Amino acid sequence: MTVLKRLMDIVVAGSALLLLGPLLLAIALWVRCDSAGGALFRQERVGRHGRHFTIYKFRTMRTGADKAGPAITVGEDARITRAGHWLRHSKLDELPQLFNVLTGDMSLVGPRPEVPRYVAMYPADLHDLVLSVRPGITDLASIAFRNESALLAQSADPERTYVEDILPVKLDYAARYAQHPSLWQDVVILVRTAHAVLKPSQAPSQPR
């Protein structure tokens, strides 16, 4: 399973980067022209077995915005650029993570990697289990919380809502994935992710 999954990651990520090369270049130029700063956003995340790595995204906020506000994005966050709004909505800001997949820091499918601050809040009985698999670009929690920022915007204390209400649900999804991994499940999640990205956004709601 591990070898086949890694092979699928390399083939799919490598092929996608070759096919999407012109699109990646166009987005990078758009981001740089839209606001001051580089095209890529880099952030420390926690990966498999607790190893820290640098995750890549197209920059969707003003340069330095991650140090001037919370680690989560809430509603129409004023830090988001004009290009960033569209990139976040379309999820195209995640495309540079295909490089993370090629380097082995991430997989196409797996629990979304968190920043060290939130990983430190993982319950002891779930910490090692969730971190036993490579984090991914997408998972069932990403689909369930497609409108997470809009959901948080409804809260009087967004970070508390994230830690107390959303993070536990994400960890439940992650634990179940780590306990029962399969290539077929990965394919199903990729198809469901494509459908979620392409269909119109629905009103935010708390996943069950």
Q: What is the pLDDT of residue 110?
A: 97
Nearest alpha carbon to residue 110 among 93, 135, 140, 130: 135
Give the pLDDT band of residue 208 (cuts 50, 70, 90).
Answer: very low
Tokens 């995204």 sit on residue: 57
Tens of pLDDT along 153-203? 888 899 999 999 999 999 999 999 999 999 999 999 999 999 988 875 554
In DSSP terms, 41 is beta-bridged to: 57
Contact 121, 46 (CB under 8 A): no
Give the pLDDT band of residue 120 (cuts 50, 70, 90).
Answer: very high
Strand segments (E) across the chain:
40-46, 52-58, 107-109, 136-138
Cβ atoms within 10 Å, residue 125 = 8
Q: What is the pLDDT of residue 79?
A: 87
Sequence-distant (6+) residues with CB within 8 A of 196 are 143, 146
Q: What is the pLDDT of residue 93?
A: 96
Instruction: Report pTM.
Output: 0.89
Q: What is the pLDDT of residue 43?
A: 95
Tens of pLDDT along 7-21? 999 999 999 999 999
**Burial zone of 107 (CB within 10 Å; 0-12 exposed, 13-18 middle, 19+ buried):** buried
For the segment 69-82, the average pLDDT, to the nearest whole number, is 77
Specify the range with the lowest mean pLDDT, choosing from 48-57, 81-90, 92-101: 81-90
